C-alpha cells in the first residue's frame, strides 16, 4: 500500500481527487505511469482469477440497445467500450470518474462514439440533469475500493437517481465460501492493498441503502462466492 503521495497532493492536476485515492490507491488508479501499465485486458483477467468475462457479461447482459446507461467509474480493459457499443447510437452511455487520468483513458476508449460522454465527477455526488434519465446505472467493482461511509453515499445516490422501471447493477466482491482457496489469497491482498474491501464480505449491498425496502434485490454469486452481481429495481 502506498501512503500519501506528496507530489500528487500538491499538483493542481489532482485537485478534487479524494484523499483516500492518493493515500491508498495512487499506485493503481491515480499515478499515470501505473495506470498505463495496468489498463489492459490481461491484467483484469489475472486480477479476477479468469472470471473477467463472466462478470462483465453479468453487467452487459442487462444492457439493451438504445438504453441510457450511467457507469459510475472507469474500468480497466475494454469494458466501457463494449458497454457503449451495446448501447449504440440510439441510446446514451455516460461514464463518470473522479481522477483525471481515468477520465483521459475513458475518453480515449470512447472516442468517435457520439452517444457517449465522459464526465469528471464523484460517484456519490454526480449531478444528473433533467434530461439524463437512466435506464441502467452500474457500479462495477467500485464499492470495495471506497471507505465505508462512501459506500453508503454511493449506493444511496444511485438509488435516489434510479427512475421507476430502471435498474441498478452492482458487480463486486462477496464473501467467499470457506472451502474456496481464493478466500485466503484475498485475505492477504485485502490486508496489504485493499483496506476497504473486506466489509463487502460482512455486509450485503442492500445494507448500504437507507431505503432498501423500496427495492427488490436480486443477487447471483460466482466462483464459490468470491464475486456477486446484484440487480436492483423499484418494487411495483
Q: For the domain that residue 151 is a member of, what is the CATH number?
A: 3.40.50.150
> So what's the pLDDT on residue 13?
67
Q: Is residue 102 part of a domain?
A: yes
Residue 129 maps to a domain:
yes
For 203-225, write each residue's pLDDT tens digit: 999 999 999 999 999 999 999 99
- Whether 76 has a pLDDT exceeding 50, the answer reads yes
As a three-state string, the secondary structure of 2-34 is CCCCHHHHHCHHHCCCCHHHHHHCHHHHHCHHH
Beta partners for 230?
170, 219
Residue 8 above 80 pLDDT? Answer: no
C-alpha span between 22 and 27 (Å, rounded):
8
For range 63-76, the mean pLDDT: 98
Q: In this structure, is residue 1 part of a structural domain?
A: no
The chain-wide mean pLDDT, for the chain, equals 94
The yes-or-no verdict on residue 4 having pLDDT over 60 is: no
Residue 201 has pLDDT above 50, yes or no: yes
pLDDT above 70 covers a percentage of the chain that reads 94
Note whether residue 195 is domain-resident. yes
Q: What is the pLDDT of residues 85-136, one digit of tens each?
A: 999 999 999 999 999 999 999 999 999 999 999 999 999 999 987 667 999 9
- Mean of the pLDDT values across residues 177-203? 97
Domain contains 11 = yes
pLDDT for res 11: 66
pLDDT tens track for 133-174: 999 999 999 999 999 999 999 999 999 999 999 999 999 999
Work out how many domains the chain is built from and give that number: 1
Residue 193's domain comprises: 6-234
Q: Quote the pLDDT of residue 9.
A: 52
Assigned domain for 138 exists? yes
Strand pairing category for 227-234 and 167-173:
antiparallel
Q: Return the pLDDT at 10.
A: 55
pLDDT at 6: 47
* Host H or E run for residue 216: strand 215-222
Number of Cβ within a 10 Å radius of residue 75: 25
- Which pLDDT value is given to residue 126? 95
More confident residue, 5 or 37: 37
Amino acid at each position: 500500500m502506498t501512503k500519501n503521495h506528496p507530489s500528487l497532493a500538491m499538483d493542481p492536476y489532482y485537485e478534487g481527487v479524494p484523499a483516500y485515492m492518493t493515500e491508498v490507491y495512487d499506485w493503481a488508479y491515480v499515478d499515470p505511469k501505473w495506470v498505463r501499465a495496468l489498463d489492459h485486458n490481461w491484467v483484469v483477467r489475472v486480477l479476477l482469477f479468469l472470471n473477467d468475462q463472466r462478470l462483465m457479461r453479468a453487467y452487459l447482459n442487462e444492457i439493451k440497445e438504445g438504453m441510457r446507461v450511467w457507469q459510475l467509474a472507469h474500468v480497466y480493459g475494454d469494458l466501457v467500450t463494449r458497454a457503449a457499443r451495446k448501447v449504440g447510437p440510439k441510446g446514451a452511455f455516460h461514464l463518470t470518474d473522479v481522477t483525471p487520468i481515468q477520465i483521459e483513458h475513458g475518453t480515449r476508449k470512447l472516442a468517435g462514439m457520439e452517444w457517449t460522454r465522459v464526465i469528471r465527477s464523484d460517484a456519490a455526488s454526480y449531478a444528473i440533469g433533467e434530461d439524463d434519465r437512466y435506464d441502467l446505472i452500474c457500479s462495477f467493482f467500485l464499492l470495495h475500493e471506497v471507505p465505508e461511509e462512501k459506500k453508503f453515499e454511493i449506493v444511496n445516490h444511485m438509488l435516489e437517481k434510479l427512475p421507476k422501471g430502471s435498474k441498478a447493477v452492482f458487480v463486486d466482491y462477496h464473501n467467499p465460501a470457506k472451502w474456496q482457496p481464493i478466500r485466503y489469497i484475498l485475505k492477504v491482498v485485502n490486508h496489504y492493498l485493499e483496506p476497504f474491501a473486506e466489509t463487502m464480505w460482512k455486509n450485503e449491498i442492500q445494507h448500504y441503502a437507507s431505503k432498501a425496502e423500496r427495492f427488490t434485490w436480486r443477487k447471483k454469486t460466482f466462483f464459490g462466492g468470491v464475486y456477486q452481481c446484484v440487480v436492483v429495481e423499484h418494487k411495483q
